[in-house]
Structures are given as structure tokens and as C-alpha cells.
A and B are shown apart, each in its own frame.
Chain A
Amino acid sequence: MDTQINRLPASTGLYVDHNESITFSFEGKNYTGLAGDTIASALAANNVWLLSRSFKYHRPRGVMSMAGLEADTLVQLDGEPNVAADRRKITPNLQVSGQNYNGSLEKDKNANMGAFSKFMPVGFYYKAFFRPKGIWQKFWEPVVRKRAGLGKIDFNSPHSYFDKCYKFCDVAVIGSGPAGLSAALIAAKAGTEVILIEQESLLGGSLNYSRFDAEGKVASATRNELLEAVVAQPNIEVLTNAVCNAWFADNWLPIIQGNRMYKLRAKEMVLASGKMEQPAIFHNNDLPGILLGSAAQRLIRLYAVRPGQRAVILTANDDGYATALDLLENGVEIAAIADLRPSPIATPIYEQINNNGVSIFAGHTVYAAAARSDKNHIQSVELREIIGQGQCKNESKHFDCDLLCVSIGFTPTYQLALQSGGKISYDDETARFSISQLPKSFHLAGAVNGFNKLSSLLDSGNQTGKAVCDNLGLDTKGITSQQTMSSTSNTYGNHPWPIFPHPKGKEFVDLDEDLQYADIVNACKDGYSEIELVKRYSTVGMGPSQGRHSALATARLVANETQRSVAEVGVTTARPPFRAEKLGVIAGRSFEPERLTAIHHRHKELGAQMITAGVWWRPGYYGQPKNRDQCIRDENLVIRNNVGLIDVSTLGGLEVRGPDAAEFLNRMYTFAYAKQKIGMSRYLLMTNPAGTIIDDGVACRFSDEHFYVTATTGGVDNVYRTMLWWNTQWRLDVDITNVTAAYAGINIAGPNSREVLHKVCNDIDLSPEGFPYLAVREGTVAHIPARLLRVGFVGELGYEIHVPASQGEALWDALLEVGKEHNIQPVGIEAQRLLRLEKGHIIVSQDTDAMTTPQEVRMTWAIAKKKPFFVGGRSLQLIDNHPSDRKLVGFIIEASQNESPKESNIILDGNNIVGHITSVAYSPSLNKIIGLAFAKADTEPGMQISIKLSSGMVIQAQVVEMPFYDPENKRQEM
């Protein structure tokens, strides 16, 4: 096990606990880190810098920003690919490996891919893969697919728990650096509820790792003071390790924290997201050991890791000198500082470095970096004097080093601001960005708004906090703001052209995509002059880092090549998400509503196999799955020959009440209801305005002004919604109430049903004369108030008993008890479907589709043509003049067939498809296979139809009159 040779003393390292060691493995080798370490920092402490191989050329890559901004730190964990090594904390026994290599990470067999870069210029795929014809499918696609993608998905990895949560606040502050903290404090002191969102594990932002003064004291002092104030402020809620991943209208913010997405709605939004340090572009600028200056500071201050032994600094601002001071104080030798500026400003930090005797080369750049013999780490740099934009003298100075820190400028972390509609501008003279045209409730604070001095950052936060309060109508007079401390250095500095092409190339503009200087230049030469087109042609900015380190350089190159300013060229659109987000986070915890009838648990106790019907669970049949067909046949015969119970609670129930109730039904349904007798039911068929069947049921009239209307299980919600929609226009004096859940329903059916029912129903005359077919009654069953409907869906004597849902189970128990002597049995939905098929009854949406009219299913008998109006009536009149070319017919096949037809098998007329089977089953009562199918409109009983089976075989079926069973309907009317 390696020792942590780069670990700094316990006095450093805000994030790590020097008292707790953690062992993990990388590439199969065990390492020790500290609690709080990221994978990258722990490896760096062990002097391991090579993390992965690049996407195209398999170049060695390591950490650059220590802020999770680049693709080069993506590593593979057990069951999870593409994990940012500079953000994921180590845990005991964590197993980590690199990605995108062939062989070993250190000796990648594909490491020579870069030698072929001349043959893979930008856009080569557009020019190469389509000729000769067919070569894409035969050759290129397999090659590309094999090499595409990073990491490996483990399809056996266990599911994790993800969820979402709503949040609300007055003010959301994104970023907890000096500006964010001071803005949050001002707003909270004024009485607002503030949520402070920080992507790191500790508040403080740049105060945690940056150096704002020569002495190196002001940052920690300011941080401590601000954090104490935040802790003492009850109006501030802090979310750490949380990323605001997008901005949506009216400050709707998805905040991702671990496996949870908060959906935060904020009245006011403060973006204090800071800035992103930018790399310089020179030969081999991608070697491991080349860090942004802020990354070196993060390693030191956050993780107690010395980033190297001997460093060279490339800078164009005070931050590079501050980095140099940090390195010196932590035992790193500074070999040289190359300052792109011809005349560095003599700030206190600069002076302190200068006084230390460090060699400073003004007006110089790192022209090239060279790798060690194993090619996996920087070994030296070549400095040259700058003589023009991107041009250098030929004379070189060479410095050995194992660390190069680059501090040549920044871009604001502008993504959320631009998503809110903000416009970004670039000043070509100062090389700085600015953002404008933000929504009124969207505010910028701190470095994202161009500020860099600590005093400016604090002032910016204070002012923003007050602006937020002004918007909310709150008085901030008398609120004391954070004292702005003296910070005597840090002049904001962006060098306008930190780009130095090299004859041998490998000066990378976009490390994600292995795009070099020449690639962007050539894209422009190919005619792509607009930044968005250059992006799509070259793929610059399309990798995991989404252009965070390449957008500015690309804009500069495109501007240069097209003789425009960077301001004119602009940057590419910043779309959500800000960071890569897991699909699990987007999905969250899945809510899948399900409804249970009052008798649900009794079904399960009786061994029912439950099936879904929309959101309801219903008993399919009672028995073992291996006996499914036999169970259904037995249950069918129970109803035909004896008595059974079917739970019909899921049937839709609607109360239609009021003086206009009958008129309302007359308009909603095809049949006529105005003269329907009280105490009787009548079939309902509903069509939409196009005349298409959308539901059916029965209307039970209990008084002049009261109908109890049933609807299909899956259709009732739509029926209810449709009724409300229509009556909003008609304004009839009627009330519609959906009472589906309020009633449990049991259909007691079979020739012995009357006898069983009679035992528990004494206040209703159950005789055929007293309670005839299609009549409805109110009374009690087993002491439970009930509505009874004599309907004939299954074609036998039967009663649907509707009772309050809370008493449904008690009714079921009572009926089973009194039916024992008749051997009453529960009957499932599968048998019910078969029973109704034997009677030729359709099921809307199974035997109909989105175009089916009453004419096609032989239900014109259910249309009252003398009515002045019903929904769909006019369409049906028109359809009468243009008859359909199909209709639903019943067919039979002898049961001895080797292969039975299935629903959706097609009906052929010669080679033409003329329809399909909608329902088919073996009928034990008839000992035949029976079914319904759409066939040609001129198909009549006695004719044959051709069915193409699933096997492809075509068989003949005989078309017959319906119903198949008890054609005279005597059994249901007995």
C-alpha cells in the first residue's frame, strides 16, 4: 500500500479529517486517503495523477480544475460509470478504475491514436463514412460503435432510491462564496426566507481556497465571520452538496442533492456562482500535472495535498502569483513564472514573489510541455517570449517541473443566467464578459458579475441583497452589512489571447473531444463561420464539460478566423442541465396509483390471480396460474349452471340529479331517457362528436330527477369529465357527481341467484313479476342499504347489488355465507368476459377502436333517431350516407383446432387485410371457439371469413348470428 507522499500537515485541508483514514482501490491497487478526500485528491496525495484516457486519441489525462468541470476526471466505479473523480468522495473499499483504455491505464494499446490525428481532421466523418455505398453499415458503424462511449454500464447494479421534493422560499442564493453569503445575510436580516445552495460540502466558495492578500489571512477571517453570521441567522436554510442544475420560468429551480431533486420555487433568485478559470492553449497542454492555478489551491487548502514538487506558473494576473505563494508556503519549489503580460502589475502579492527570488519571465508563455518517458505526466516546459498574438520567438528556455499551474483568466459561471434569458457580452479591449437583460427577479452577485476583489465581492453581495429586498418591498435601512475587509491585491485579469499554436499540434482547445487548435481553424475554413455551426461541425463544447473550458477559446479563434470581434461571435447557447444528471434523479420516486375494491383482500384470500384494469386491481380468476384456462371454464359454468359472485365495484358510478337530469342524458347518450320509467334501467351508449363509441353503461332511474348511471371501469373518468364539459355549455339544471369509489358492487348471477339473494333480502319483492329484468330497486341486503339492478351482461338471471363501499366486504361475506348450501363460488373477470362474449356483448375499447361507430357494431338499435340532438348525432346521420366498409361479426370455429386464433389476428379477404379479431375464447357452454371480429361490411351469417393465425396459417371461420348463447334471452329474463 502506497504512502501519501503528497499529504500536507494537519493544519491544512478544510474538507479532510486527518484522523480518519480510508482505504480504497484504483486500477486494482490499494491506496489510503482521508475521510473527506475525493478520489482525485486521495490519488494525488499518493502521487497518482493519471485518471483516464481521452475520448479520441487515448491521451493520458488527469485532474485539471479540481472542480468537476472536465471530462478527464471521469472514472469507473462498480456499477457506475463516468463518475467525476474530483467530486466523488472516497468511501471504504471503494473500487475505482480509469476509463477508455485498451490494456492498462498506464500502457494503453491505443495510445498511439494521436499519431493518426492528421487523418481525422474535424468533420472527417461527414466526408468519409458515406462512400462507397454500404460501407457505413458494413465497416464504419461497427468500428465506431466499438469505440464510442466512456465507461461500462452494469445492468445488474441494484436500483437506488431516488426522490423529488418541493421547496419554496423568498430568496434562493446559488453559491456561498463571499458575494452569496453577504447577499443571503442581507436578505435574511430583512425577514425573508432564504435558501442558500452550495455545490461543495462546506460554505465559503472561493474563501475556502483562494488567496486574496499577500499574507494569506483575509480569506479565512472573512469566511469565519460570514459563516458565524449565517449559522446564527434562522431565516437561512443551507443546502450543501447541492447543485442548481437549471433555471426555468419564474425561478423554478431543480436542485440536485444526492439522489434527490428539489423543485424549488423562489420569489427572487441570486446567482453568485462565481467564475471558472480557463486553460491556456499550447503544445501538450493536456498532460497530467498541468493544473489550473485554482485547482492547485483547492488541492492544498481543501484537501491538504501538495500538487507537486517543482512547479512552473503560467499566468496573466495576480491569481497566478497568489498560487505561487501558496505553493511556496507548502514546500513546492517554483522553477519559473511565465507572465503573458509584458509588464506585470506590481501588486503586493507580485512583490512578495519577486522578493522571494523566483524567476519571473514577463511577456513569456509556455510554448510547449514535454512528458516523462512513460508519457503519462509532465516533465518539463518550454518558455518562449511572445512577439505578437499567438506568436513567439524561436529561442526557448526549458524548465524541468512536475507541475504547471495556469492562471490566465476566467469566464463567469453564466449558464443559469443565460437560461433565464440574460444576454452575455464580451469586451474585446478588457477581455471580460458581462451579463445583462436578466429577469427582474434574477440578480447577479460577485464574480459572475465581473467582480474579483474581495471587497468588491462583498459589496456586490450586499448590494444584491438589498436589491432583492427592494423587489420584495422590504425595508433594508438599518440592516448592517458585512464589513468589507481590506484586500490589497487581485486585479481581475483575463489575457485576450492565451493561444499558441505549435507546428506539431496537440494544443488542445477542447479536451473532452480531443479538438486541437487546427480543428477549430479548419472548421472556419470549411465555411462554418457561426459559433453554433462550428460547434455542431467540430463537436467543440459537446462533451461532458459542455464548453466550460473551450467556449471562450473557440469564440476567440472563430472571431480571429472570420475577422470579427469576440463580442460579435458570442458564445454557444447554455442549455440545461448545468451538470450531468442521472436519469434516476429526473425520474425520482415513481408514484403509480392503484385502486382497490372493498373486497380486494377477500379475493386474495380466496386465491385470486389479480390483474389490472386501468388503475384498479381485479380478480382475473381464482386458482393457480397453471390451471388458468380450467379455472375460467369452471367459473363460467358456475354462472351458467348454478350461482356465482362477481366483484363489479370498479364499474363507474355517476349520480345525475336535478330537474334536467333526463334531458341531460338525452343529450349525452344515443338512446332516449325522457320517458324512461322510474324503477327501470336502460342501456347507455355514448359517442363523441365524431360519432365514435366512447363508452357504455346503464341508466337507472330512481326518481324523476335522479338517475344512477354506470360507466365502464376505464371510461368513467372521461365520461365524468365529458359530462362536466358539455354541461358547462348547456347550463342545464343538473348535478353530476362521480360516486365510483363510494359504491361496492357485486353481481350475483346464475339460475340460483334469486334463491340465494332471497335469504338476505326481505324488503324487496324478488319475484320475476315484482322485480323483472331491467328493473332497479332500493332496499337492504344483509342489513346493508343497497341498490339492486337486474341487468344481463353475463346472460343469466342476476342482480347487481351496489352498496356503500365501506360495507362491500360485509356484503360479500354475507352472500358467500348464505350461498354455501348452493355451493356459491366467486367468479373472476376472465370468466365474466367469456360470459358476455357468449352473449355477444361488446366491451368498449376492446371490441371498438378510436373509429368505431354504432353502425359498425350493429348497435343502431341504441340510437333514438327522433331526438333533436345528442352528442355525435349529426355525425352519425352523415355516416349513414357513407356506410363503413367493415362491421363486427360473430364467428365460430370447432374446438378441435390445433392452433386457436388470438385477439388481434387479422382477417383476410384474399391478400387484403379487412379486419381483426377483437375477442375470442373457448366457450365451455358451446364447446366451440367463439369470437368477434371486424370483417367486410357485406359479411353475413353463414359466410366464411379467413383468419391468419399467429403462426401464419390461414383458417376459415363461420360467421354466425349473435348471441352465441341463449339467443332468445330467456335465461336472463327468468
Chain B
Amino acid sequence: MSQTSPSHFLIRSPHYRTLLAEGANFIEHRDVVLVDNYGNSAEDEALQAQQLGLVDLTPFARSGYKGKQAIHWAKTQGLNIGASNNQAYLQSNGALVARLSDTEVLILNNIHSEQNQCILLEDEYAKNKPAQCYSVPRNNSSAWFMITGKFSTEMFAKICGIDLRLKSFPNGTIAQTSIARINGIIIRNDMNNTPAFYLIFDSASTDYMWSCLKDAFVEFQGAPVGDSALSKL
């Protein structure tokens, strides 16, 4: 790992300037550049994350497949996918497979795993071109945030009409809904004992969503936190 600037890379987070303005320190991590911290220690940012934290996971790999045979094909690739839609299924390698419907899955790589589940799938897909199964360019069409902490549900209530209270929205539950008037996917995926929600949405709206979240965060003293804090949760 080394500290670096996103503009030195071909692949850039759509709102890296916003992150820079927040005081982000970037690091190169395998093939991507991501926010390590915002000028604080990992421990301090982990404490912030336990209250209310905003993490940009957009640099991490994700992919999607849709079509009548998409789920069947994904299962043949060894993915564990249950029968319920709007439910995320944790894989043995830490990847999360979100079953969005009978015909669509979203795969979110384990952000700290050595194994890139998405790349493996993409390679296999490109090789075999399975019938009635079509790739969705989630890496580019969708941004990926994570909102953490005990105030996360109250914060979400300001921008989203879904009942995300922890008892109503158990870990692994998915809501495909409107957030701050744009379409998005919310997946609850707690970080150990810290409530956490993935937010997947239109990548062209990244700056907009960031500003909406920051505005909603003010009431709870929420703040962005870097990737290094996540391992401390």
C-alpha cells in the first residue's frame, strides 16, 4: 500500500474530488485506489463509524447478472443463493450475493478478501456466454456507499420511506426503493456489532447522493470514515 492520488489512475471514483475536499487520504489497494482515512486514526474513525459513518466503497468490485437463467448460472458457479428475493446471501469467501428478483442478482465483493469473486465470475461469463444470462456493468453503472452506526436508521428516515428499523429490517434484507428521490438498493450488512447498510445507486448521481447524505448526517454528527476504520469495527 502507498498513499496516492486518484487522478493518477485510469479508473477513478466519480466523486474523488469531493472526497479530497473532505480531507481523504487515498491508498492504492490491489488494483483500485480508495480512501484510507480522513485524517484521523483508524480507531477514531471506527468510533465515528459506530455512531454514524459514511464509507465510499465505489472502488471495490461488484457485478450483476440478469435474465431467466441468471440465478441458475450463478448457482452453477458455486454461489449460495436462497429462494427469497430481496435477500442477500453471504458467501463463504465473504462476498455478498443480493437476489434482487427471480431474474437478477447483484454480487458485492468482500472488500477485504484476497479473492475477487466478481472477476472470477466475469471471466467465466465472458468465456461461456451462458444463454439467457446477461451481465450488468454494476462497476460503472452503480456507486456503492456504506452507512454505518447506531444512528444510521434515523438518518435514513430523512431521505427514504422504508422502515429500516433494525427489528423491522433484519441483516441481509434488501430494499429496492427511492432514496432522496433517486432509485437505489439498500442492503443491511452489519459490520460485526455495528449496524451497516450498503447503498447501491446511480453512479452519475454520486456527488448528489453524497451531499444529501452529508446534509442528513449533520443532525447526528455523522461523518465520512475511511476503509481502515472498517477493520476496527
Q: Which positions in A face B, CB cutoff 8 Å? A: 163-168, 193, 263, 265, 589, 591-598, 601, 616, 655, 657-658, 733, 735, 737, 739-743, 783-784, 804-807, 809-810
Contact = CB atoms under 8 A, between A and B. Distances in A.
B134 A741 contact: no
Contact of B159 (A591, A784, A805): A591
B183 to A, nearest CB: 10
A806 B34 CA distance: 13
A594 B139 contact: no
A601 B137 contact: no
Given A595-B202, A742-B141, A806-B140, A165 B181 contact: no
9 closest A-B pairs by beta carbon, nearest first, are: A742-B141, A595-B204, A742-B140, A742-B137, A591-B181, A168-B163, A741-B204, A810-B10, A804-B140
Contacts of A655: 134
A783 B7 CA distance: 15
Interface in B151-188: 154, 157-163, 165, 168, 180-182
B47 interface: no
Contact of A167 (B13, B132, B157): B157
B203 interface: yes
B134 A805 contact: no
A593 B182 contact: yes
15 contacts: A164-B158, A168-B168, A591-B159, A593-B182, A594-B208, A596-B205, A598-B12, A740-B204, A743-B140, A783-B10, A804-B11, A805-B204, A806-B12, A806-B13, A807-B10
Given A163-B158, A658-B132, A805-B140, 17 more contacts: A164-B158, A165-B154, A165-B157, A591-B181, A592-B181, A594-B208, A595-B205, A595-B208, A596-B14, A655-B134, A657-B134, A741-B203, A741-B204, A743-B140, A805-B203, A806-B11, A806-B14
A163 B137 CA distance: 35
B204 A597 contact: yes
A609 to B, nearest CB: 19
Contacts of A593: 180-182, 205, 208
Contacts of A193: 165
Interface in B48-86: 66-67
B204 A601 contact: no
Contacts of A163: 158
Interface in B207-226: 207-208, 212, 215
A741 B204 CA distance: 6
Main SS of chain A's interface residues?
A: mixed
B66 A737 contact: yes
Nearest to B165: A168
Given A166-B161, A594-B205, A595-B208, A807 B12 contact: yes
A810 B181 contact: no
B11 A807 contact: yes
A598 B11 contact: no
B207 A596 contact: yes
Given A593-B182, A593-B208, A733-B132, A598 B10 contact: no
Contacts of B66: 735, 737
Contacts of B11: 804, 806-807, 810
B212 A591 contact: yes
A807 B10 CA distance: 5
A737 B12 CA distance: 23
Contact of A598 (B14, B67, B136, B137): B14
B112 interface: no
A739 B204 contact: no
B157 A741 contact: no
Most buried by B among A163, A740, A741, A805: A741
B141 A735 contact: no
B201 to A, nearest CB: 10
B17 interface: yes
Contacts of B137: 739, 742, 804
B163 A589 contact: no
Contacts of A741: 140-142, 202-205
Nearest to A616: B204
B165 to A, nearest CB: 6
Interface string B126-146: 000000101011011110000
Contacts of B208: 593-596
Nearest to B14: A598
Nearest to B202: A741
Nearest to B133: A735
Contacts of A743: 140
A165 B203 contact: no
B52 to A, nearest CB: 15
A601 B14 CA distance: 10
Given A166-B161, A739-B141, A804-B139, A591 B134 contact: no
B212 to A, nearest CB: 7
B80 to A, nearest CB: 24
Contacts of A739: 136-137, 141
A247 B130 CA distance: 53
Contact of B163 (A265, A597, A735, A804): A265
A767 to B, nearest CB: 27
B204 A596 contact: yes
B139 A735 contact: no
A716 to B, nearest CB: 12
B78 to A, nearest CB: 23
Nearest to B70: A735
Contacts of B10: 783-784, 807, 810
A597 B208 CA distance: 12
A806 B7 CA distance: 11
A805 B205 contact: no
A598 B202 CA distance: 12
Interface in B94-152: 132, 134, 136-137, 139-142
Contacts of B67: 658, 735
A263 B140 contact: no
A815 to B, nearest CB: 13
A166 B205 contact: no
Most buried by B among A593, A737, A806: A806
A563 to B, nearest CB: 52
A810 B202 contact: no
A805 B14 contact: yes
Nearest to A591: B181
A802 to B, nearest CB: 11
A594 B208 CA distance: 6
Contacts of A166: 157-158, 160-163
A163 B215 CA distance: 11
Contacts of A784: 10
A809 B215 contact: no
A190 to B, nearest CB: 15
Contacts of B157: 165-167
B7 to A, nearest CB: 8
Nearest to B156: A166
B180 A591 contact: yes
Contacts of A589: 158, 215
B180 to A, nearest CB: 5
Contacts of A807: 10-12
Contacts of B9: 810
Nearest to B137: A742
A164 B160 CA distance: 10
Given A265-B163, A595-B202, A737 B158 contact: no
B204 A735 contact: no
A831 B208 CA distance: 27
Interface string B6-34: 01011111100100000000000000000
A165 B220 CA distance: 14
Contacts of A265: 163
A514 to B, nearest CB: 43
A167 B163 CA distance: 7
Nearest to B154: A165
B70 to A, nearest CB: 9
Nearest to A657: B134
B39 to A, nearest CB: 22
A616 B208 CA distance: 11
B175 to A, nearest CB: 12
